[in-house]
Structure 1
Amino acid sequence: MNSNFDIIIVGGGAAGFFTAINIVENNPHIKVAILERGKSVLEKVRISGGGRCNVTHACFVPNDLVKFYPRGEKELRGPFHQFCSGDTIEWFEKHGVELKIEDDGRMFPTTDNSQTIINCFLIAVKKLKIEVLTGQSVQSIFKGNDYWKVETNHETYSCQKLIMTTGSNPKIWEMLQNIGHTIVSPVPSLFTFNIKDSRIAALMGVSAFAKVKVKDTKLEAVGPLLITHWGMSGPGILRLSAWGAIILAEKKYQFIIQVNWLGDATFEATLEQLKELKHEHAKKVVSKKSPFELPNRLWESLVLASQIDSEVKWADLSKTQLTNLASQLTNGEFQVNGKSTFKEEFVTAGGIDLKEIHFKTMESKLHENLFFAGEIVNIDAITGGFNFQNAWTSGFIVANSVVD
């Protein structure tokens, strides 16, 4: 087997395949190989989006799209002007995969099956004669005068241009550190909060649109909050975990969150509203039905937490009880003790320092002919198809840059 290639891509995931396909489609004469350490390729694609593959997000304006990236917002502005979500849809359509938009903006293949995306990539690499070599664990990389050497557990390969698409792989980060790159230490980015609290103990599966703040910080997020058997999850919590990745790691995942179950409503306005309800619903039992857009079970739990018995009528509420209830509704404090990984979507903040990359080409500023795509760099996004969009965009830019 020939171990010399024009271009070697290390990492057989979404970014690696997308980069390889785009290179050879534009330049059929170029010899490209993908090296993958595992037995199979595209494993993260397979499990993403609950096995449906959340390909991208229906946000088509680059300056809006960048706002979903806690790390990389500034750097991705230029790249997204070159290849954005609309280009992703077009690219997959051209390759026989139709995408659909869900209500929350997430985009999936119409088949609702990640295998559709995997097959699309596998068919393309076969057709383009891109070599996919599995079970290749990279042991070292070496830069010669005008070539790169990549040593794996099986073979030593050489190439003119080397593209790294290995995601959050500490071993590869260490190799890049050895040749001068700075690695921002990885910390988990998308996670749910572990909370043991009597107010939510029996409410598994209940969801509400809420505003969540981390006490004594500027961190806050708004969105659906889902109560789970271990605590809290849902888009609002995941957003907070992404934006707060570094701060929350420093706190060792021990902190207090303040939940406003009524979104933007203030304590004062809510207290006034409760006073009006006391007159309007005088003869009704407080805990029976939520007067706000809240699930009744959650309302009942917050009423009990305000020291109001389950049979008390509105007319009988004391000033203290009204104040307690307004406080539980707009500023309930919950102690977080630890985190849990969100489904299988383990995303980390961290990677190659963004200052060491040319974002017009995704080439290393330290080494010529060394390129990066995907999550290997210190870019990450909230959940919703944004991490994949970064993979497609950076892969597209690399594919256009490696060929002179």
Structure 2
Amino acid sequence: MQHFDIIIIGGGAAGFFTAINAAENNPGLKIAILERGKEVLTKVKISGGGRCNVTHAEFVPKELSLNYPRGEKELLGPFHGFMTGDTMEWFQKRGIELKIEEDGRIFPVSDDSQSIINCFLRETESLKIQVFKSHVVQNFQKKESLWDIKTSKGDFSAEKIMLATGSNPKMWNLLKKLGHEIIEPVPSLFTFNIQDERIKDLPGIATEAEVKIKSKKINLESKGPLLITHWGMSGPGILKLSAWGARDLEKLNYQFEILVNWLPGFNLEEVLTALKDFKSSLAKQQVVKNAKFDLPKRLWKNLVLASKIEEGTTWADLNKHQLQNLSNQLAHAVFKVNGKSTFKEEFVTAGGVNLKEVDFKTFESKLHKNLFLAGEVLNIDAITGGFNFQNAWTGGFLAAKAMSKD
């Protein structure tokens, strides 16, 4: 049996961040990371389309916490201890230059997630942290003052352990055996499957929109870029709804309707007034051929045709019903959602260890001394944009601080 002061189970973002910070805080500690896969940091590798969306340019703890459908209240305190600016400084101190993009997402200047991975691997090597790959943890339990860990490749023991195993059902089951409550997981970041003539031939088109879920039981809306895809709708505007509505939409079996306002900031009456103005000022122009409101031309054309306005019709030819139809298509379009698609490989779930069972000053279990939890093993998840990683960095940093104390 191999003995360590600290063992981290899970070789992902939260696990590596914890191990590195604990070793820096207390260089005398013997630390190991156990990873079930053949490779470490696989989610870091694919995140942000292979560029690694490290965090988000939101520098006020309260505002930052609003991006977490689950964990908003609990993360507010931790963010005062370590948040976005600290994350940026941490990486920059280690030679990783970062940049803030227009939408607030923060990436390495290299635009390559491998630079983040290399940074972590360099740090673990120089700090003499041992990384054991292909070690599947089969069980862990407390024996007197030590934790015993059984893996597919041998047994380990440690004074303190951290679970940074993401949405791993086997680890959740082991935590259940220790008395922790696990909130059942459901998908959180997903796109909406929509088969509709109005968007059928428009994949790749993106535009700002307001989207609302049309349901008596759910009162959710979001505003942001909407991307039309081969299977329906995606983009930040949709993904926000999927995160905030994760549990409610699962109950509806992902069968529901949404209202799309393609002209955010305009209401139905304002759109109708604008269309009447076009009718008088652009009388001889063809409606289909003259996209208005800065809408993409092909989207405008499809919405016009869906309003029962034929090609060749001029603005002067429009009757009252057609004007009303067009204003509805522009500001109040109803789309039927029939199922979901997972957002790329960046699978995020709502679910995990009940947050009431964790001390958020240290990320230690309230049920078991010297058992720490960070990242998506907890019932915390965020909208897209670097927020899920920020949760991993914050939890890892504060846990490392507590774990590295003698």
User: TM range, normalised to the smaller chain?
Assistant: over 0.9
Check the 8 A contact 2:25/2:404 in 1, yes or no: no
Separation (CA, whole Å) in 2 of partners of 1:84 and 1:248 = 31
Shift, 1:269, TM fit: 1.5
Query: 5+ residue gaps in structure 1?
Result: none
Q: 3-state SS of the aligned residue for 2:66?
A: helix
1:211 maps to a residue whose letter is E
Give the drift of 1:84: 0.8
Residue equivalent to 1:113: 112
Q: Which residue of 2 aligns with 1:177?
A: 176
How far apart, CA to CA, are the structure 1 residues paired with 2:180 and 2:171?
11
CA distance in 2, matches of 1:134, 1:286: 62
Q: Distance in 2 between matches of 1:54 and 1:291?
A: 35
SS in 2 for 1:311: coil
Match of 2:315 in 1: 314
Q: Indicate the residue corresponding to 2:389 in structure 1.
A: 388
Amino acid aligned to 1:243 = W
Q: Which residue is equivalent to 1:365?
A: 366
Shift of 1:293: 2.0
2:23–2:404 CA contact under 8 A, matched in 1: no
Paired residue for 2:259? 258
Residue type matched to 1:154 in 2? K
Compute the displacement of 1:156 (Å): 1.3
How far is the alpha carbon of 1:166 from its aligned partner? Answer: 0.2
Query: SS where residue 20 of structure 1 aligns?
Result: helix
* Residue 149 of structure 2: aligned partner: 150
* SS of match in other structure, 2:385: coil
Tell me, yes or no, if the aligned pair for 2:364 and 2:370 is still in contact at 8 Å: yes
Q: How many residues align?
A: 403
After the TM superposition, which segments of 4 or more aligned residues of structure 1 sit over 4 Å from their partners? none
Which residue of structure 1 aligns with residue 13 of structure 2?
Answer: 14
Which residue in the other structure is 1:296 paired with?
297
Match of 1:67 in 2: 66
Partner secondary structure for residue 292 of structure 1: coil
> Is 1:76–2:89 an aligned residue pair?
no
Match for 1:191: what amino acid?
F
Structure 1 residue 403 displacement after superposition = 2.7
- Listed one character per residue, the Cα deviations across residues 340-374 of structure 1 (whole Å, up to 9, x for unaligned) are 11111111111101111000010101111100111
Could you say which residue in structure 1 is the equivalent of 2:220?
Answer: 219
Aligned positions of 1:279-358 closer than 5 A: 279-358=280-359
What's 2:375 paired with? Answer: 374
The residue type paired with residue 176 of structure 2 is Q
State the shift of 1:290 in Å: 1.5
Q: Whole-Å Cα distance in 2 between the matches of residues 66 and 371 of structure 1?
A: 21
Secondary structure of 1:395 counterpart: helix
Matched, 1:126 2:125: yes
- Give me the whole-angstrom Cα distance separating, in 1, the residues matched to 2:202 and 2:39: 40
Per-residue CA deviation, residues 375-398 of structure 1 (Å, 9 max, x unaligned), is 110111111111111100000000
Distance 1:276 1:268 in 2: 12
Letter in 1 for 2:399: V
Amino acid at match of 1:293: D
Residues 22-33 of structure 1 aligned to structure 2 (within 5 Å): 22-33=21-32
Classify the secondary structure of the residue corresponding to 1:68: coil
For residue 154 of structure 2, what is the amino acid of its counterpart? E
SS state of the match for residue 301, structure 2? helix
What secondary structure is seen at the aligned counterpart in 1 of 2:74?
coil
SS of 1:76's equivalent in the other structure is helix
The AA in structure 2 aligned to 1:284 is: Q
Q: Which amino acid aligns with 1:174?
A: N
User: SS where residue 90 of structure 1 aligns?
Assistant: helix
Tell me the percent identity: 62
Give the TM-score normalised by the residue count of structure 1.
0.99
